[in-house]
Structure 1
Amino acid sequence: MKIKVSELKKELKEYDQKELIQLITELFKTSKDVQSILSVKFLGDKATEELYSQAKKSIENEFFPDRGEPKLRLANAKKTISNFGKLTGHELKTLDLMLFYVEQGVKFTNAYGNMYDSFYNSLAMMYDKVTSKCGMEEEYYNHFAERLENVLENTVDMDWGFYEELAESYYNTGYPNEDDE
């Protein structure tokens, strides 16, 4: 059985500061997520940068590990991105990781040859999430424009209609003009 947020707040109001400190310290010791959340809260950008670096390395290791064969556990890479976003609340860096995921998948395909349909679907859905957000926030588009274009250019010869799907997402942002290309 789980306590509801409203009930939790009511219970926490009954604690004095010393008890709250003890409770938070216990949570910190037992949960890596709590450690990350509190580190971001109290250490700010330094902690966010560390979590970002760890997440980026984790994603890269799914495609290009330092040792051994690629695992290509796409669900793990996507979970890493989701967890980073939840723990830090840093939207730009989360989008950066999402685009990095796509870039790694494209790089992998170019290095090892064409992949399977669900692989491309995963990358295309992630690319679409990035371009959709960029379509809503011109600042994000300006930040990622060159990388978004590079992904598109690097997928022209890929199978499964992958390029066409990415191109549709890219041009739906409303910023690039298909006639300019």
Structure 2
Amino acid sequence: MTKSKKTSIPEIKKSLKSYEKEALISMLMDCYKLSSDVKNYIHILINPDETIEELFEKSKHQIRQEFFPERGLARFRLSHAKKAITDFKNLSNDEVRTIDLMIYYVEVGVDVTNSYGDIDEPFYNSMISMYSNVIKKIVGNEALFHRFNERLETIVRKTAGIGWGFHDELSYLYMEFAAEFEEMLE
């Protein structure tokens, strides 16, 4: 069996230039009907502010559902919650709201632990990793620091008494983060 060669982007562009406007519109509408990502992308192009806000709220809801579902038991599918963040980031290209979702992921993770008790090491490692990634995105940006600092500090406070080194690691990350901004502001 031979492997089919994928068409390159320049070849696709060249081919699309030969189509008439109506055929292109028809092709685009077919893609719109087949893919929710294409549908969301087109909505962002046409009505960016409202669509991005809707996608942001939908992503928050998806994250919360993995930990505190409206029905049934929590599934703790971290990959599904993280996928909601990645999908939002890829569709919207909105860095501030993406950071907000990342922080929300950790906040909900902390709320889960405080509601149900200790989870497990992979769970906490995922929360620490996300928290660390947030800090990396904020470092050096004073506006983002002021926007998100209180929430990052609150996360650390809410983890006091949680095991697995979770609180200690978050405290360390936050103290380094805050110290770096203090130096920057001097």
- TM-score of the superposed pair, with normalisation by structure 2: 0.90
- Residue 124 of structure 1 is matched in structure 2 by 128
Q: CA deviation at 1:176?
A: 5.3
After TM superposition, the structure 1 = structure 2 runs for residues 130-169 of structure 1, keeping only pairs within 5 Å, are 130-169=134-173
Partner of 2:19: 15
- Determine if contact 2:106/2:130 at 8 Å carries over to the other structure: yes
- Report the Cα distance in structure 2 between the residues aligned to 1:176 and 1:5, rounded to whole angstroms: 47
What is the root-mean-square deviation of aligned Cα atoms in Å?
A: 1.4
Instruction: Give 1:47's match in structure 2, choosing from 51, 54, 59.
Output: 51
Which residue matches 2:75? 71
Given candidates 57, 60, 65, the residue that maps to 1:61 is 65
Amino acid at match of 2:181: Y
Alignment partners' CA distance in 2, 1:45 and 1:69 = 34
Corresponding position of 2:35: 31
Q: Supply the distance in 2 between the matched residues of 1:6 and 1:122 (Cα, whole angstroms).
A: 39
Measure how far apart 1:50 and its partner are. 0.7
The one of 8, 21, 37 equivalent to 1:4 is 8
How far the C-alpha of 1:29 sits from its partner, in A, is 0.7
- Of 151-160 and 162-171, more deviation after overlay is shown by 162-171
Aligned partners of 2:176 and 2:11: how far apart in 1?
45
Query: For residues 73 and 142 of structure 1, what CA distance do their matches in structure 2 show?
Result: 31
Query: What aligned pairs does 1:71-110 form with structure 2 within 5 A after superposition?
Result: 71-110=75-114
Amino acid at match of 1:116: D
What's the TM-score once normalised by structure 1's chain length?
Answer: 0.93
CA–CA separation in structure 2 for the residues paired with 1:58 and 1:86? 16
**Structure label with greater radius of gyration:** 2
Give 4+ residue runs of structure 1 displaced > 3 Å after superposition. Answer: none
Letter in 2 for 1:10: K
List runs of 5+ in structure 2 lacking aligned partners. Answer: none
The correspondence for 1:112, drawn from 110, 113, 116, is: 116
CA distance in 2, matches of 1:156, 1:14: 64
